Amino acid sequence: MKYQCPFCHEYDINEKNEEYFCNNCSKKISKDEIIHIKNINNAKNGQFNCPGCGSSEVMYSKKNKALECKYCGYLFNEKTDDDNKIKKLKGIIKTKGSIDYDETVDNLVVIKCDGCGAEVVIDINDKPVARCQWCHSILTLNDIAETGRAPDKILPFKLSREEAVSKMKEFLQQGRMNYFANEKFKNGVTVDNIMGVYMPYLQVDVNAHAALKGIGKHIINYKKSKKKKKYNIEIYDIEREFDLYVDDLIFESNTERKDLECDARTNNIINAVLPFDTENALKYTGNYLIGFNSEKRNLNQNDFRDEIEKKIIDISKEPLKKDSNFYNDGIEWKECNTKIVGSKWISIFLPIWLYSFQENQDDRKILHYIAVNGRTGKVMGSAPIDIDNTKKSNIAMLFAFGCILLPFVLILVSIILTTFKHAYLIILALIILIILLILLGVVALKTNYKSAIVLLRNKNAKFDYAKRTNKSFSHIVKNDKKINVTQELR
């Protein structure tokens, strides 16, 4: 097993009597701090041969949901030899595919063809799969030593292209999305215009210890009065301590996809189609990428240091919501301390069907997406608004508003003219009121337009990792102490 320095991230480590020293930064590293590098793939570069006949004509079959030999028809998938002993994790473990991404490595890699001996050049940034120019064998780049460019695992596509198009069209036919979405955008959702893309993620298993302190309120009873209710409330000091085991927590490991707040790219759409059934991931080989696109990873485990701490705290609070059965007036957590005892990081490719559309506005360009989870079929999208339909809707709303308002105005004017001596002053005030109502209507239409844009963008659509991430708990210690009884009027 190799080791990485947690301070300078180099791999030049000496080990002696379970003590570690970095030759690069000259720092002593404790056993809990050292980063262990583990290989769970063991895939080699070059030909990936069929177990049945030895042919290299192996590629992923969307129909059979397996790797298929085009020569003999043999179907197979290779599972990883990864263990899942989260409770025993200590320190930081990285797999070979999740080590720090190295931008300095030459993008051109030369592989020797096992079929004829020719040397074939593969461009890492293009696609880690190529054909030998002489014998036409498929050659794959499965291992790029100490660069973090090849993932450990891959979760193949389950939904076909046609099924993905159907999901996208169903999504666009929903309510206001159907009416307000740009027609050119909707008409572009065809089999020819969507792409299957393998997105890069870092996946982590975490063994943690959590300790939380807070205030809980329990409503005993209440009495009704004319306007308010008088509540009798017990107040408790609450302490919870337990071991937390998190399975397959994932992070978008491409810089642009991770930026959920970017207005120009609507990247939260990719996040919103989670989760994936990562427990079914297979050993990575470039043959799965034939016929699909892929994005590269350019973020490392260290880039998620603050984010993982926040997510572990949020996940640790989730099971404690069961306490709200007793604390029916809520719990306010004052202290949330978590210690990550051990973590294991792997790099994984996950499948997404994508349809994209660039909207050209006056001063900027906005890239809209519809994304479909290539395993579950979950869909989310951001659509540009149809200006013409919006104008028609606004005119129709103004016309309806005017038709409703006009009869009342005419009746009111006739009453004023026949009743009051100085009717013209009242009519003038009425005209001003009508103008104000019209302006109010215009403001309402603009608000409606903006709300339609917000609806079509789906900016708030995000994966609820606290609820949906697989987790378990043990050694739960509860300590509740009643400190006060109070009364509140509400």
466 shares its domain with 412: no
Integer Cα distance of 24 and 13 in angstroms = 8
DSSP tag of 375: T
The answer to whether residue 420 is domain-embedded is: yes
pLDDT in tens, 294-340: 888 888 888 898 889 999 999 988 777 777 778 888 888 899 899 99
Integer Cα distance of 413 and 51 in angstroms = 91
Integer Cα distance of 139 and 79 in angstroms = 20
DSSP tag of 226: S
115 shares its domain with 178: no
198 shares its domain with 68: no
DSSP tag of 181: B
Q: In terms of residue numbers, what domain contains 268?
A: 161-382+459-489
Neighbours of 68 (CB within 10 A): 21
As beta bridge partners, residue 366 has: 359
The answer to whether residue 24 is domain-embedded is: no
424 shares its domain with 484: no
Listed as own residue / partner, the contacts of 184-187 with beta carbons closer than 8 Å and 24 or more positions apart are 184/357, 185/357, 185/368, 185/383, 185/384, 186/383
243 shares its domain with 125: no
Integer Cα distance of 108 and 122 in angstroms = 6
Q: Which of 53-57, 187-191, 364-368 has the lowest mean pLDDT?
A: 364-368
340 shares its domain with 418: no
85 pLDDT higher than 60: yes
Highest mean pLDDT among 34-43, 75-84, 211-220, 385-394: 211-220
Neighbours of 384 (CB within 10 A): 21
Integer Cα distance of 292 and 366 in angstroms = 24
Helices H / strands E in the chain, number of each = 9, 23
The answer to whether residue 7 is domain-embedded is: no
66 pLDDT higher than 80: yes
The answer to whether residue 344 is domain-embedded is: yes
Integer Cα distance of 141 and 143 in angstroms = 6
152 pLDDT higher than 80: yes
Integer Cα distance of 352 and 199 in angstroms = 7
Higher pLDDT, 175 or 469: 469
Q: Report the candidate in 157, 400, 182, 460 with the shortest Cα–Cα distance to residue 281.
A: 157
**Side-chain half-sphere exposure of 104, counting CA atoms within 13 A:** 2
306 shares its domain with 205: yes
Q: What pLDDT was estimated at residue 351?
A: 95
The answer to whether residue 250 is domain-embedded is: yes
**pTM higher than the cut 0.85:** no
16 pLDDT higher than 90: no
Enumerate residues 6+ apart whose C-beta is below 8 A from 9.
100, 302
Give the confidence band of 261 by pLDDT, cuts at 50, 70, 90.
low
Residues 199-204: what's their mean pLDDT?
Answer: 93
Q: Count of domains in the chain?
A: 3
Computed over every residue of the chain, the mean pLDDT equals 80
399 shares its domain with 308: no
The answer to whether residue 322 is domain-embedded is: yes
185 shares its domain with 199: yes
Q: What pLDDT was estimated at residue 47?
A: 75
Is the separation of the CB atoms in 354 and 195 below 8 Å? Answer: yes
247 shares its domain with 335: yes
Q: What pLDDT was estimated at residue 328?
A: 85
Is the separation of the CB atoms in 117 and 37 below 8 Å? Answer: no
444 shares its domain with 463: no
Give the confidence band of 389 by pLDDT, cuts at 50, 70, 90.
low
Is the separation of the CB atoms in 284 and 292 below 8 Å? Answer: no
The answer to whether residue 414 is domain-embedded is: yes
The answer to whether residue 360 is domain-embedded is: yes
Residues 406-430: what's their mean pLDDT?
Answer: 66
Residues in the chain: 490
pLDDT in tens, 270-294: 888 999 999 899 988 888 888 888 8
139 shares its domain with 264: no
265 pLDDT higher than 60: no
Neighbours of 251 (CB within 10 A): 20
Integer Cα distance of 285 and 97 in angstroms = 12
Residues 128-137: what's their mean pLDDT?
Answer: 72
Is the separation of the CB atoms in 182 and 390 below 8 Å? Answer: no
